[in-house]
């Protein structure tokens, strides 16, 4: 009998039909201020960044060659299948938490806890990885300006002679945390402005670079074979999500049921068009073997004598990639807030600022944690903490949208994922397939984090859950 009660406990679900009323009585709520284009800007800000300015060059140089644009297309197809599933949920459950909340409402409390706990680590690590990537462009820009900074502040221990901390990356994490504590209205205005600058820089890169393309650089198009293209797709998948973190802001949208599905789709389409065009320009300007892995576009423009434009691109990359940090730090703080409000984490974390209505406590905790990772871990080790959690979140969301469509087919939906269950099923298959490319060390780290989460859930969350308290 006790076992039956336990089983009922871990599978207890939030009632979707009444989720708005039940959460209204559970504690703090977030302020609804974001419009459609602010949401889209947050999504574009999360997707476009490291993918264009860093990963495109890295994958082109050693993995896929000019076929890197096909890698982006494959990753984009996989991501689109998940994006359509997210869009259906975002219009139906306009609450903070994204995949955590969707999993909780459809698959049960433990599934929700599993993905929420996972995203706390993944999103925080992504913020750190992106900060380290920006730091690489910062070093390029400082060197070109003739400045000579002390070696101790230029990188994490072990990344170079005399390196002790990546100070610039760590400070960036704290800066983004501070921006988010100013309130979502002010933070979103900053994000929208910077995203506009970033898109402008990418368009300049594409339009100017198009006049310096040498078609011979496209041959051979698949120097590493088709397997290199697929391996590249697994790598650049890191660059084609971001809408999932944006969907955590559903509770701060003025009209989430109408705007969230549109913002998710718009942001992915805009990003994929720019990605493909940028890859064509990069691999056409410079032979894939000579593309710099850290600052690909800057060095490509240098190679054709456009040094000033190379500096502008480096500056644009620094500003533009900031928006990725913003989107994912926003995501992790909203997931943490939702889990705390639900009682799965201590309620203390769900406390919001009395006038700005943002979870300042968790924002500063995430800011400090990401700063520590960015400052003291090499980018390769920090990057190993990412991807697996996002892919598992996609599996959960795509599975949940299928389950809910058949369990409650008449539930009101402002957006319906097309070609059910083929599209979400494709998202599940692609995500699991991409997971198989991850290194075994990634699985070990994930297993340890999951084990720690299980211990915490059964020691604390199971008994303190709001659903447990009501029942």
What confidence tens digit (pLDDT) does each residue in 44-86 have?
988 887 677 777 888 898 889 999 999 999 888 888 999 999 9
Between CA 354 and CA 31 the distance in angstroms is 11
Beta bridge partners of 154: 166
Cα distances (Å, whole numbers) of residue 29 to 20, 226, 329, 358: 11, 49, 18, 9
Cβ 218 vs Cβ 66: under 8 Å: yes
Low-confidence residues of the chain: pLDDT under 50: 1-7
Between CA 81 and CA 417 the distance in angstroms is 9
Between CA 310 and CA 288 the distance in angstroms is 18
Between CA 104 and CA 110 the distance in angstroms is 7
DSSP character for 34? B
Between CA 421 and CA 398 the distance in angstroms is 9
pLDDT tens for 303-361 read 888 877 877 777 777 777 788 899 999 999 999 999 999 999 999 998 998 888 899 99
116 phi and psi angles, rounded to 5 deg: -65, -45
- Confidence (pLDDT) at 381: 67
Residue with tokens 């406390």: 351
The helix/strand/coil state of 261 is helix
Distance of CA 92 to the CA centre of its chain: 22
134: closest CA among 212, 194, 66, 69?
194
- The terminus-to-terminus CA distance of the chain in angstroms comes to 17
Topology classification of domain 32-470: Amino acid/polyamine transporter I (1.20.1740)
Structure tokens at 397: 């969301």
Between CA 310 and CA 303 the distance in angstroms is 9
The set of residues, in sequence order, having a beta carbon less than 8 Å from that of 3 and lying 6+ positions away, is none
Neighbours of 13 (CB within 10 A): 15
Q: Is 419 exposed, middle or buried (0-12, 13-18, 19+ CB in 10 A)?
A: exposed
DSSP alpha helix (H) spans, 145-250: 167-181, 184-209, 225-236, 243-246
Q: Is 147 exposed, middle or buried (0-12, 13-18, 19+ CB in 10 A)?
A: exposed
Q: What's this model's pTM, rounded to 2 decimal places?
A: 0.86
DSSP character for 459? I
122: closest CA among 91, 94, 90, 100?
100
115: closest CA among 126, 128, 102?
102
The helix/strand/coil state of 253 is strand
Cα distances (Å, whole numbers) of residue 253 to 28, 39, 247, 358, 464: 16, 8, 10, 14, 29
Q: In this structure, is the dihedral angle defined by the CA atoms of residues 243, 245, 248 and 253, taken in order, positive or negative?
A: negative
User: Could you check whether the bond before residue 349 is cis, i.e. omega within 30 degrees of 0?
Assistant: no
- Confidence (pLDDT) at 2: 36
Between CA 353 and CA 368 the distance in angstroms is 19
Residue with tokens 């990605």: 275
Between CA 436 and CA 446 the distance in angstroms is 14
- Confidence (pLDDT) at 272: 92
- Confidence (pLDDT) at 211: 92
Q: Is 219 exposed, middle or buried (0-12, 13-18, 19+ CB in 10 A)?
A: exposed
The helix/strand/coil state of 228 is helix
Buried/exposed code over 220-240 (b: 16+ C-beta within 10 A; e: otherwise): eeebbeeebbbbbbbbbbbbb
Domain boundaries, the chain: 32-470
Between CA 129 and CA 50 the distance in angstroms is 9
Angle between helix 360-376 and helix 109-144 axes, rounded to 10 deg = 50
- Confidence (pLDDT) at 369: 95
Q: What region, left, alpha or beta, does residue 176 occupy, with left being phi > 0 and alpha being psi -120 to 50 degrees?
A: alpha
98: closest CA among 400, 334, 323?
334
């Amino acid at each position: 009998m006790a076992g039956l009660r336990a089983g009922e406990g871990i599978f207890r679900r939030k009632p979707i039909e009444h989720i708005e009323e039940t959460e209204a009585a559970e504690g703090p709520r977030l302020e609804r201020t974001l419009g459609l284009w602010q949401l889209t800007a947050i999504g574009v800000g999360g997707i476009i960044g490291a993918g264009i300015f860093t990963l495109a060059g890295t994958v082109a140089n050693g993995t896929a060659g000019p076929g890197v644009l096909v890698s982006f297309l494959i990753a984009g197809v996989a991501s689109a299948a998940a994006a359509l599933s997210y869009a259906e949920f975002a219009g139906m459950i306009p609450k903070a938490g994204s995949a955590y909340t969707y999993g909780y409402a459809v698959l049960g409390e433990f599934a929700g806890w599993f993905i929420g706990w996972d995203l706390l680590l993944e999103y925080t690590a992504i913020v750190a990885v992106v900060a380290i990537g920006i730091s690489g462009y910062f070093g390029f820009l400082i060197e070109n300006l003739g400045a000579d900074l002390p070696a101790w502040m230029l990188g994490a221990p072990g990344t170079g002679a005399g390196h002790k901390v990546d100070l610039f990356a760590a400070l960036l994490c704290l800066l983004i945390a501070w921006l988010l504590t100013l309130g979502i209205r002010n933070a979103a205005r900053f994000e929208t402005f910077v995203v506009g600058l970033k898109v402008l820089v990418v368009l300049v890169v594409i339009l100017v670079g198009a006049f310096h393309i040498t078609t011979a650089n496209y041959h051979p198009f698949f120097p590493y074979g088709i397997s290199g293209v697929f391996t590249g797709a697994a790598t650049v998948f890191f660059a084609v999500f971001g809408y999932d973190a944006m969907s955590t802001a559903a509770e701060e949208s003025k009209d989430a049921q109408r705007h969230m599905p549109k913002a998710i789709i718009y942001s992915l389409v805009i990003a994929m068009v720019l990605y493909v065009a940028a890859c064509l320009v990069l691999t056409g300007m410079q032979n894939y073997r000579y593309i710099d892995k850290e600052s690909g576009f800057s060095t490509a423009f240098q190679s054709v004598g456009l040094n000033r434009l190379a500096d502008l691109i480096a500056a644009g990359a620094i500003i533009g990639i900031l928006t990725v940090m913003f989107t994912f730090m926003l995501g992790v703080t909203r997931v943490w807030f939702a889990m705390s409000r639900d009682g799965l984490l201590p309620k203390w974390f769900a406390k919001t600022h009395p006038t700005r209505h943002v979870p300042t406590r968790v924002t500063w905790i995430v800011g400090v944690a990401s700063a520590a990772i960015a400052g003291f871990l090499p980018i390769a080790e920090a990057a190993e903490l990412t991807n697996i959690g996002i892919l598992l979140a996609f599996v959960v969301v795509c599975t949940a949208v299928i389950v809910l469509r058949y369990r409650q087919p008449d539930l009101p939906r402002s957006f319906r994922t097309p070609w059910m269950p083929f599209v979400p099923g494709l998202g599940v298959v692609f995500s699991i397939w991409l997971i198989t490319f991850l290194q075994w060390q990634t699985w070990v780290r994930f297993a340890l984090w999951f084990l720690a989460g299980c211990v915490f859930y059964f020691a604390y969350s199971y008994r303190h859950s709001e659903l447990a308290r009501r029942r």
